[in-house]
Structure 1
C-alpha cells in the first residue's frame, strides 16, 4: 500500500485508476458485505498510540515545480484570452455593420405561436432562416466580414405566409466600410433566390425556402419597433427624434383581425427635399413594397393628418440619413372597425343645402380602393340635387384614368380633382344614384360635400364654358361659385346684393357675389376698387433680350427692386404691395445676412445708384422650410420700413401674384431682369437694368438635367444657353405676361443653376404659385 500510494503521488494522472484498484481489493477481502467507507471507532479510556514519524518530501521538489508552472501558464493564458476577447468585442462593436432584413416565406401558414419567441414554431423558423442566411453570406464575396444573422420577429401579412424579420451583422474596419451598402448586401440575398421562368411568379427557392423575391428588403441599422394592438379604445404612441447622425426607423403596426389601423400624425420634422433623402412613408402592409404605399411625406408638417389602412397591418418608415437639425415624428395609432360607406338620403322641399356627406373615415385621408354609394331622392319631380364640394370638382371622364377618384352619377362617368375653391354640381333629377370609387394607388385628401335641392325650372344655364372642360348639365352663371375653369361663369357678376362675409365689398360699399374678385383682371366694382393697386399689366416697351440680354428701357419693369447689403448691390426682388417685396431665401442665409438692419431696398431704379425711392428693410421672413443644400423653398418676404408713396405709382408698380396651383406650359415666353453679371466669368454687375427673354422648360427635361428638381421649382432659359440669369440677379423676377388680360405675373424667382448661360443647363427658379397661401399669411392685403 505504501508503494502504491507513493506511485499515486508521483503520477497524478493515474490517481483514479489507483482508487479503483483499492476498492476492488476491498470487495474481494470482505466477501458478503457491501463495500463502503466506515468511520474508525475511537477507543474509550485508552491512550492513543504514537504515530510513526515519516520523512516528507520537500515542497519545492521537481514535480511540484512543474505543477505550479503549469498553473501559472494556465492563469496567464486565461488573462491573455480575456483581454483579447475584450479587444475583439470592442473592435466588433466599433467596426460592426448592421442591416435590418425581411422576406416572406410563402408556403408556411402563420400561426399565433409564431409571435412567441420561446415557442417551438418560432424557434424552428428562426433556426432554418439563420442557417440559410449564414450559408448565403459565408459563400459570398463578403464572407470574411460576415459575422452572423439573427431572426428578430415572425409575423403575418396580407399576402399570406410568414414575414420574417432578421438582423445581419458584418465586422470590418470602418475605413473599408464604404463597400457596404443596402443594395450591395441585398443583391447577394436576391441573387441567391432561384426563380422559375415557366411559372413567371416572383416566388423562388432560397436554399429550400420558398421566398417571395419581391419581398426581400434590407436597410441599414435603425430603430425598429413592433406594436400589436388589440384594444379599440386605446391610443398607441409613436415618437422618435434625433439631432445628429442618421435616423432610420420602422414601426410595424398590427391590429386584431377584422379591424383597421388609423395612424394620426401630429408633427414630422424632415429636411424638405422631395423625398430624395428624407421621407416618411406609410405602407398598407408590413412590407415596404412600392405598390403598397398609402402615402409619403417629403417635407416637415405640424398639421394634424390621419391615414387609414385597408386591412389590419401597417408599416411606417422614417428615413433621414443626413440630419442637420431635429428630425423625428410624433404620432399615434388606433384600432378602428371597418365602415360601410353607403346611405339613402331623403332631401326636403327646401332649396338650400341641408346636410353633408363625406369620404370614408372623414376627416382622415381616405384609403385606396374604397367605394361609396349614396342614393338621393327629392319630394317633387321639379327639384333636383345640388352638391357643393368644398375643395374639389368633378369633370366629364375622358380617355385617361382618374387620379383622384372617379364618380358615376346616374350612369354618367366623371373624374375628380382637387381645387382651391368651392364648386357646385347640379343633377336635374329627383332621383340621383351616386357612386364614388377611390383611387387604387394612394390615400387621398378627405372630401366634404354639402347636399340640397334646387328648382330645376328656375336655373339660368349656359351651354358650355369657352374652354375644353365644362359641367353637366351646365355651369351656373353668377351663383358665387366658379364652375368654369377660367371663371367665365362668374365674370361681370356685379349685381348688388346684401353684404356678408361671403361677398366682395367695393370701396363704395356695393357688394356682389364673386370668388377671387380682387386683381383678376376684370373691373367688377363701379369705382374699380377691386382692381386698385393691381396695375401690373404694363407691358415692356422694349423687345431686346442679364447673360445674353440687353439694356431695358426706363420704367419697363416697375416692380423690379435692387437690394443693397451694407451699401452694395447684392440681390434682386419684386414689388408685390405698397410695403412688401418678394425675393429668394438664399440671399439671406446666415446670421449676418438674415439681420434686416444692413439692408436697403431701391425701387423705381433704372441705373444703379439712381433710385426713385429707397427704404430700409424692416423685416425679413425666410420660408421656414428653406433647404440651403438643395435650394428648395427658396423664397423670402421683405417688409419695407416705409411704404412707397402713391405719387410714384407711374414708376413703381406691384407685379401680380399667380393663382395657387397655376399651370404653366413649356415653351411659354417670359422675361428675366436684373443688374447681375453679364457673363459667368465676370466680376461686376451691370450698371443698367438688363432684360432677357427666356422660355419655360419642360419639368421632366429639367429633372433629367439637374436631378434634384422639386415641384416647387421650374426651369427657364434656352437650350443653346446664351440667355440666362447670373450672379447678382438672385431673388429677381421671372415675369410672364398673361394672355387673357395682359397682366404681368410673377411666375418665378431667380434661384440657382449650373453656371450662367451654359448650353443644356437652364436657370432654375422658385415656382411662386406653390407659395400663394404662405404669401397671403403675411400679406393678407393681396387677398
Structure 2
C-alpha cells in the first residue's frame, strides 16, 4: 500500500509540473494584439524532456520494487501454506466431562452455549500442549461436537493440529500425543474411580481416545468443507429414520452424525449400497462408534456394492456414518435407515429338558444384527439329571482351544476352559459332559462381527462314555457338518439301530464319536469338540441359620495392585456395580437385599439416580454373574463430604433379593460390632476388578485379591493429614499391594480369629496414587457406622 501511494504521489507531481511549463496555455488570459507587419518566423518549441529523466527513473524503480515485494510475499505465503499443509499432523479424539450436564443448545454450533463450552475445552487443551514437549509444534485445537452420552456428563469431540517437518515426524507418534493429554489428568488424591481433574474439568481418564486423523476429515468436521453433512437427532423408539443419498458424477464425501436419546442405542440398517469395488482406501462406507472419524472406534467398513440387508448396533447413543467416493462414474449412493433401540442384556439361566432334541436357541446380542464390540454374554445351562450333559450346535461357527495368540472373532469360556471362535461354512457340535455348564462370550474389542446362532439340548453322558470305552470313539476336528441339518433333530438318547431307510432323520447322535448307524452316516461330515468335566469349585461354608447369616467359613486362598487372581467362590460377598452396563464400583453383600458401598461412587445428579445401576452378585469373571438385580434405592450418608471423603459410605437396596438357592455362590459378609477396635499389623484382604497398577487403562476381567495390613492411625494421619476417626489406612508401606481405580466401594475383609467369621472392616475410599511407597490406601471405617446401617437394615441389629 505504501508503494502504491508513493507511486501515485510522484505521478501527480510530474503531471502538474509539465502543465504549468507550457506557454500560452494558462486559462483566463489573452495575449496582446501585435501591429500589422511582416510576419516573424516562429520560434521552435522547446524539446520535451527525455523519457529517462530522473523522475521517470524513480517512478519505474518504485514500481519495480513494489512488484518485487508483492511477488515475494505471494511466494512466501504459498510456501508457508504448502509447507503447513505438507507438514501438518492432525489428531482426532474425544473425552468425557463428568461434572457438566448436557444442554439441548449444544446441538447447535452457532449457539452461545456451545461456543462457550467449546472455548473452555479448547483453552484447556491449548494449555496442555503449549506447556508440553510438543509446544513449538502445536498449532491449535478445535472442538467439533459436544454431545450427551449414556454414561452421563458431556462427550467432547475435538481436533488437535501440529505443524512440524516430516523429517522429524517419526518422533511425533500417536501414543506420545495421547500420553501428554492423559498424563495431564490429575488423579493423585482423589476417589478411586477413573475420574480426575484436567485443568478444572472433571475428565474420565478411561474415556480419552486420540488417533491420527486426515486433513480431509478435519476440513469436513470444522465446517470449512462441509460437502453433504447432516446431523440427525432421533427421539422416538417406534420410528425409522431414512438415510438416503445418491449422486451421478463428481466427488462424494458425506458425513451423517446420528444421535439418539440418552440411555438408548442406535441400530443402522443398510438395505443397499453402490460403490466402486476398491481396496477400501478410496471408496468406502465407514461406521464409527463416535461423532468424528476416530479410527479406534470403527464399527464396520464396507468397500464393495451390496444388496443384502446388514445392520449394526452402537455401544453408545451416537454414531457416525461416512460415505466416500472420489470418482463416481455411475449412480452411487446408499439406501439405509436407523432407529433407536434399548440396550439388550445378554444373560440368562436355561433349564434344559430331559431327553429332548435341540430344544432352543441362544444368539449374540441384537441378533440378527452384527454384534457390537466389547459386548459380553453369559449363559448358565442346567440339566435335570446328573447323567445328562449339554450339547451345543453352532451355526457357521466353530470354537477351538485358545492358544497364546488373541482371538479375532471373540473368545469363549466354558466351565473355566478358554476357546477362540472362528467363522466357517458349516455347523459344528460342542458337548459339555456335565449337567451344569457356564458359558461366557467375550466379543472382540475392535469391530462389530457377524451374528451368532447356537442351538442347545441335552445328551446322555453315561451312554456316550460306555460307547467310548468300547473303542469306537474317534474325535473329529476338521470335517464339516452338512448345512441341511434341521434346527430340531431326533432323540438325544441312543437308538437301538439305524438303517438306510429314508425316514431316518439326522439328530444329536451325529458327531458323538460312536457309529450308531450301520452305514456310519451319523459320523460322516462332522466337526466335534469335547471338553473335560469342570473342576469342582470350593466355596466358603455358609450357615444361613447363624446370627445375621454372614459368612464364617474359610477357603484356600492364593495370594488389584500387587494382587492375584482369586479362586471362584472365595469372596462370595463381593459385588460389581455397573453404571449403564459398565463396571464402575464395587460393593459388599450384607443381607438378602442390601449392599454396602462408598458414597463417592454416587456423587452427582446422574450417579445418584438408581435407574442406570445394576448389581452383579456371585461373580468371578466380569460378565459371569450368578445373579443380577437393578438397584431400587441408593442411600448416601447425609454428612458425606465430597472434598475430604469423610462419611464415605452408602447403602444400596436391590430391586430383587437374591434367592436362597444361590447361597453357595452368594453370601453376606458380617458387619462389625459398633465401635470395634482394630489392631495395627492385622492382615486383611482387599478385592475388586479395578486397575492392577496406577498406569493401567482398564480393569481386570478376573476378581483380584491382595493381602494388606492395617496401618497405625498415627502413621496414617502423619502421611495424609486429613484423616478422620471415620477412616483407616491399610496397605503395605513399601507399596506394591493396594486398591486402585475401579475398586471403590469394595470390601476390606478381615477374618476374626475367635469364630472364623469374615468381617467387613473397611470400604475402599481414596488414596494417593495406587501402590505407592509410604502411601497406603484409605478406607471407610465401617464400625463407626453400625447404628446408621441398622437404621435402614434393622435385620442386622
Relative contact order, higher structure (CA 8 A, sep 6+)? 2
Q: Normalized against structure 1, the TM-score is what?
A: 0.40
Report which of the two structures shows the higher radius of gyration computed on alpha carbons. Answer: 1
